[in-house]
Amino acid sequence: MLEGYISKLKEYTKHLHICGERNSYSKTDPDATFMRLKEDAMLNGQLKPAYNLQHGVDAQYITWLDLSSHPTDVLTLVPFLKDMECHLSFQHKEIVADAGYESEESYVFLEQNGQESYLKPQNYEISKTRKYRQDISRRENMTYDSETDEYICSNERQLKAIYDRHSKNRNGYVSTVTVYECESCQRCPYKDKCIHGNNCKTPMEERNKRLSISKEMKQKRQETLERITTEYGTQLRMNRSI
């Protein structure tokens, strides 16, 4: 059995140059990535080697196509637009896409590229539910003081910015996330509703509420939300669905 594991490890190591930036490969098609497909004949959610095919459509005409190895759509928008502009003689000024394409990288790229974003926020549908609006753990349901850069929770306690951290995605985009923390959540009657995460090793009585927020993402999402809810934005999203 051990020899079999060693043989399989050598096989994976041998194919690392094929896998590249992807996290999987297939013997039958080394350029494909294992993905969960919507059309699953076995109806068991089994991973299958596939490609992520992207379509760019304008007035019901396909203007560009792209094959991606990314299993999800979130990292495909920027490379798609860059590749399209290298081959077409014009630039689309309004980019409409569903929630799967929303990211800080996409927002920033569109702004810098002189294009208006009509990306549907990932929390757009759920944010309209009563459960979401009554969830006191979410920063959207807390009061924000822009002068002091603090959030005020349901128990009127302050969550102050304690540090910034940086993260890089697979496209190389670096985002800055600000971490806010309450000075003390001791004896707070809302603690069980506000602090989640059962896998944390710190006992609940010793934990304080934390928020991790990208200010850039927060601002760009709000600007886009206001844009897509206008009459014109609603019409654009309706046309995309058609």
The pLDDT tens digits for 18-43 are 455 555 555 555 567 777 777 666 66
| Residue 56, pLDDT above cutoff 90 | yes
Tell me what pLDDT residue 1 has: 66
Is residue 30 packed enough to be buried (19+ CB in 10 Å), middle (13-18) or exposed (0-12)? middle
Local confidence band at 195 (pLDDT 50, 70, 90 cut-offs): very high
Tell me what pLDDT residue 38 has: 73
Local confidence band at 204 (pLDDT 50, 70, 90 cut-offs): confident
Q: Cα separation of 52 and 36, whole Å? A: 11
Tell me what pLDDT residue 11 has: 65
Local confidence band at 153 (pLDDT 50, 70, 90 cut-offs): very high
Q: Which of 84-93, 126-135, 162-171, 191-200 comes out lowest in average pLDDT?
A: 191-200
Tell me what pLDDT residue 213 has: 96
Tell me what pLDDT residue 105 has: 96
Tell me what pLDDT residue 71 has: 83
* 0.85 exceeded by pTM: no
| Residue 207, pLDDT above cutoff 60 | yes
Tell me what pLDDT residue 42 has: 66
Local confidence band at 194 (pLDDT 50, 70, 90 cut-offs): very high
Helix (H) or strand (E) holding 167: strand 158-168
| Residue 45, pLDDT above cutoff 70 | no
Tell me what pLDDT residue 8 has: 67
Tell me what pLDDT residue 59 has: 87
Q: Cα separation of 4 and 80, whole Å? A: 41
Q: Cα separation of 91 and 125, whole Å? A: 30
Q: Is the dihedral of CA 36, 39, 44, 50 positive or negative?
A: negative
| Residue 200, pLDDT above cutoff 70 | yes
CB 104 within 8 A of CB 173: yes
Tell me what pLDDT residue 35 has: 79
Per-residue pLDDT tens digits for 103-146: 999 999 999 999 999 999 999 999 999 999 999 999 999 999 99
**Residue whose structure tokens are 């860059």:** 82
